[in-house]
């Protein structure tokens, strides 16, 4: 077992949100006493430890959490190293002994024992483990002996799997001294909320089909609608902040132009009402297909929101004897059709280059090729109506270097030329 522990400050309230977001790294995530544990031993083929540590740090930055990270072979050691930022297990202070008693709850059962150890000059875990078992049992009783056993065999403590919430809901309170009533400041706060929503969606392997935005306005006598609600239904599943923000901006801009907010916003809440499973959990690092598809879906969603569903579509061909029935409307991305390779080379030289055949070689002034395979001839003659009588025999040759060349021989002069190259 290999555990990545994220130690959180006592005031941190986003522990469950962080745990959901960490599900993108591993399906085995657990919540401890102000800590999140991720089992990464089975993820070594996907991430190195340095890579997952860096990714976790980026995740904490996006959520605005000041957490500390460490990796070890068991829960208690990992979180103790994270909290104290020590390099080795023996250097962990004895104040962390309650973590070895239970990494999931806080306890004060060892307070007297820790105070006694410090009076004896034993301040680190290594010195505590060097004490004889008999003296620990005689001085501190069963609880001390149990703590010693857990320190010697910390891997015995199992990982408690974390269960993500079935409903994703995020909110943000606005400082009363800040009069938030314009669109741009609202989008700035929305981005923070949507960041948390998208991280939770990705962690649980879902995409959003429908969201609800609720605003709580400052109550005044002239406010007719203190809690406006906006429903967002997407033509394609969405899961990225970069694709969601333009959709919110376009819709809210249109609505606020017709019905401006009547008073400053006190609270913003976003609920994900409908989701679908995402197609894949791991990102492909070798091409940008996922980013392109996400960008395409975002553009189509913005167009349908502005123009209407019936006015945005692809024309997809279907089988029909009637020409006007030979196509249908669809919003699916166009499927690339296989293109047959051309019979002629894709690069034709503007001026053919003279080449000289010598045994199994062709050479020019600057290059020499060894011929492995030759196909042809294909005889081509000039247009008779242009009084062109030149005849050429064309050959396709494969060289030992992998080049695919198109050459021809002038039948009248016997000269040979390089005409084109197959890419």
Model pLDDT, residue 330: 75
Domain 169-306 class in CATH = alpha beta
Q: Residue 282: pLDDT band by 50, 70, 90 thresholds?
A: very low
Q: Are 41 and 1 in contact (CB under 8 A)?
A: yes
Asked if 69 contacts 56 with a C-beta cutoff of 8 angstroms, the reply is: yes
- Exposed, middle or buried by CB within 10 Å (0-12, 13-18, 19+), for 99? buried
Q: Is 184 exposed, middle or buried (0-12, 13-18, 19+ CB in 10 A)?
A: exposed
- Identify the pLDDT of residue 71: 92
List, for residues 405-414, the tens digit of each pLDDT value: 989 998 888 8
In sequence order, which residues have a C-beta less than 8 Å from that of residue 402 and are 6 or more positions away?
none
> What does each C-alpha distance from 287 to 239, 283, 337, 414 come to in angstroms?
19, 10, 19, 48
The predicted structure's pLDDT at residue 287: 46
Q: What mean pLDDT, rounded, does the chain reach?
A: 83
Chain center to CA of 316: 31
> CATH: 3.40.50, 3.30.230, 3.30.70, 3.10.20. Which one for 3-156?
3.30.70
Asked whether the predicted pLDDT for residue 284 surpasses 50, the reply is no
Residue in 56, 72, 51, 5 with CA at minimum distance from that of residue 32: 5
Domain ranges of the chain: 3-156, 169-306, 347-421
pLDDT value at position 319? 75
pTM above 0.95, yes or no: no
Residues 196, 209 contacting (CB under 8 angstroms): no
Equal CATH topology for 3-156 and 169-306: no
User: What is the tens place of the pLDDT at every residue in 315-342?
Assistant: 777 775 555 566 777 776 666 666 666 6
Average pLDDT over residues 38-57: 85
Phi (first) and psi of residue 377, to 5 degrees: -90, 160
Count Cβ atoms within 10 A of the Cβ of residue 88 and give its class: 0-12 exposed, 13-18 middle, 19 or more buried. Answer: exposed
Three-class DSSP category at 98: helix
Decide if 171 contacts 268 (C-beta within 8 A): yes
The SS3 assignment for 143 reads helix
Phi, psi of 55 (to 5 degrees): -65, -40
Helix, strand or coil for residue 4? Answer: strand
Q: What would the pLDDT profile of 160-176 be if each residue is shown by its tens digit?
A: 888 888 788 999 898 87
SS3 label, residue 17: helix
| CB within 8 Å of 130: residues ≥ 6 apart | none
pLDDT the model gives residue 211: 92
């Amino acid at each position: 077992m290999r555990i990545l522990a994220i130690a959180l400050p006592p005031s941190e309230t986003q522990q469950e949100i962080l745990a959901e977001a960490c599900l993108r790294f591993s399906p085995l995530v657990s919540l401890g006493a102000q800590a999140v544990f991720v089992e990464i031993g089975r993820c070594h083929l996907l991430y190195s430890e340095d890579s997952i540590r860096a990714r976790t740090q980026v995740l904490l930055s996006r959520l605005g959490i000041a957490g500390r990270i460490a990796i070890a072979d068991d829960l208690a050691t990992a979180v103790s190293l994270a909290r104290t930022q020590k390099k080795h297990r023996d250097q962990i202070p004895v104040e962390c002994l309650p973590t070895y008693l239970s990494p999931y709850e806080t306890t004060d059962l060892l307070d007297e024992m820790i105070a006694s150890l410090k009076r004896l000059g034993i301040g680190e875990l290594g010195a505590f483990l060097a004490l004889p078992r008999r003296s620990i049992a005689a001085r501190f009783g069963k609880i001390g002996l149990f703590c010693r056993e857990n320190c010697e065999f910390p891997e015995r403590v199992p990982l408690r799997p974390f269960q993500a919430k079935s409903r994703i809901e995020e909110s943000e309170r606005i400082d009363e001294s800040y009069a938030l009533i314009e669109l741009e400041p609202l989008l700035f706060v929305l981005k923070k909320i949507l960041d948390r929503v998208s991280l939770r969606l990705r962690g649980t392997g879902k995409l959003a089909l429908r969201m609800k935005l609720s605003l709580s306005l400052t109550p005044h006598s002239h406010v007719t609608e203190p809690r406006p609600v906006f429903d967002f239904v997407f033509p394609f599943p969405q899961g990225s902040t970069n694709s969601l923000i333009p959709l919110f901006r376009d819709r809210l801009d249109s609505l606020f132009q017709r019905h401006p907010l009547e008073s400053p916003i006190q609270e913003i809440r976003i609920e994900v009402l409908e989701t679908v499973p995402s197609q894949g959990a791991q990102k492909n690092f070798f091409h940008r297909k996922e980013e392109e598809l996400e960008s395409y879906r975002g553009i189509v969603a913005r167009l349908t929101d502005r123009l209407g569903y019936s006015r945005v579509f692809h024309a997809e061909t279907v089988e029909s004897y009637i020409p006007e029935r030979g196509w249908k409307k669809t919003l699916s991305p166009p499927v690339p059709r296989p293109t047959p390779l051309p019979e002629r080379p894709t690069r034709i030289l503007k001026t053919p280059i003279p080449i000289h055949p010598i045994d199994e070689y062709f050479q020019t002034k600057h290059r020499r090729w060894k011929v492995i395979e030759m196909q042809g001839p294909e005889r081509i003659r000039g247009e008779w109506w242009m009084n062109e009588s030149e005849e050429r025999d064309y050959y396709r040759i494969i060289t030992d270097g992998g080049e695919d060349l198109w050459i021809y021989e002038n039948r009248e002069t016997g000269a040979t030329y390089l005409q084109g190259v197959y890419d």
